Amino acid sequence: MGGPGNPPEGTPEGAPGGGEDEYRSVVFDESFIRAARLQEFSAQERIADHAPAVRRRPPLRRGLSRQALVLVLLIAIAFGTAIYMGVRHPYQTPAARDPVEPLRMTVIPLAPEGKVPGTADPAYLYEHSPAAQFRTGAEGVPLPPSRRTAHFSDSQVVTALTTAKDYIVRSALDPEVLTGGEVRAVRVLLDPDQLDQFDQSFARPTADGRHAPTGWLVRFDPSRAQLADRKVRVQGTLQAAETDASTLEVTADHTFVYALRAAGNGAEGEVSLFTLRRELHFRFDRDDLRLHQAQLVVSYVQAGPLSCAEDSTNHLRPLLAGQTAKEGGPAGTDPYATGGATALCGSLATSAQPKV
């Protein structure tokens, strides 16, 4: 006996063997769909005549894109550059630096042979003194022609000369420094290893050749003298030389001439000239050049008119117009004491004074 026959209307839809059987041969599995390269056109694209309903998708590209390759190449170049700069770093590490020498200083007062000449007009004094042809202010500290050395470039030599000039201008020409008020402008130009010595010099001035403020900068006793003319006359030289493969040295030799009058007289009273010869030796390593700082290793000063009996350690106490040097020489020197400096004094030649 056979199975039941099909109903007259045909096999009901959804029943086994029904309408789905007609499409069973065209059902696509998931792998086929993912691999398909056909893509349906948009409605706008299908408006065109004879436009097919589907289009072929471009083949997938294998490997990295061009942008990714460029990015990888840039990263590799940057990484290689960082390694190269780390191996060939142009500056020494702080641990490799030579120890910084303390400043050795000498201040020699020059006593006048008679009365200090003076007049009411500073310009007249300058014109009738050896400083008549000196330049004014920083113009009197010109930079010399520079050239590279065996181990330092031309720009590094210029940096050393410029730093030395800045120190000279701030320490001997700045009115705030000259009147005994400002020291920070000078301090910031020193190598950090010399700051303790600098600070001790101003906290506890001592005539030991190491801790005299007048060895670091020029300043007058504000209770005794004031500037009669802020335009200081200057003349001198700067020279740079390489001492070894890691050190530049600059030697500065300048003469400064100041117009002074007694403190508290305002713009009145006679004016006299004060002359100061100053020789400084600066030393620079590569860190100093990079940071625009200097090691001041030698300061040699001759100044007058001063009295040999006066203490010139903390401030310069100039003799003014009409005054004469006090009797007596400099403070005694004890040859049995250690760590002290020999007391020195000189005589200011008459030819160094203005003719009035």
Average pLDDT score over residue span 265-286? 93
User: Is 231 within the bounds of a domain?
Assistant: yes
Residues 281 and 300: beta-carbon distance below 8 Å: no
pLDDT (0 to 100) of residue 348: 93
User: Is 138 within the bounds of a domain?
Assistant: yes
Please provide the size of the chain in residues. Answer: 356
Whole-number Cα distances in Å, 184 to 139, 188, 203, 216 = 23, 6, 14, 12
Q: What angle do CA 205, 325, 305 make, to 5 degrees?
A: 70
> In this prediction, what percent of the chain has a pLDDT beyond 90?
60
User: Is 54 within the bounds of a domain?
Assistant: no
User: Is 336 within the bounds of a domain?
Assistant: no
User: Is 184 within the bounds of a domain?
Assistant: yes
Could you tell me which residue, 19 or 230, shows the higher pLDDT?
230
Q: For residue 9, is pLDDT > 80? A: no
Across 10-14, 31-35, 90-94, 306-310, least confident range: 90-94
Q: Nearest to residue 122, comparing CAs of 222, 267, 255, 234?
A: 267
Rounded Cα distance between 161 and 124, Å, is 33
Q: At 211, phi and psi to the nearest 5?
A: -135, 45
User: Is 37 within the bounds of a domain?
Assistant: no
Residues 227 and 177: beta-carbon distance below 8 Å: no
User: Is 172 within the bounds of a domain?
Assistant: yes
Across 34-48, 217-231, 296-310, least confident range: 34-48
Q: Specify the pTM.
A: 0.72
User: Is 83 within the bounds of a domain?
Assistant: no
pLDDT band at 53, cuts 50/70/90?
low
What domain range is 347 assigned to? Answer: 103-325+341-352
Residues 157 and 240: beta-carbon distance below 8 Å: yes
Each residue's pLDDT tens digit, 208-253: 999 999 999 999 999 999 999 999 999 999 999 999 999 999 999 9
Task: Report the domain count for the chain.
Answer: 1
Each residue's pLDDT tens digit, 139-193: 999 999 988 999 999 999 999 999 999 999 999 999 999 998 889 999 999 999 9
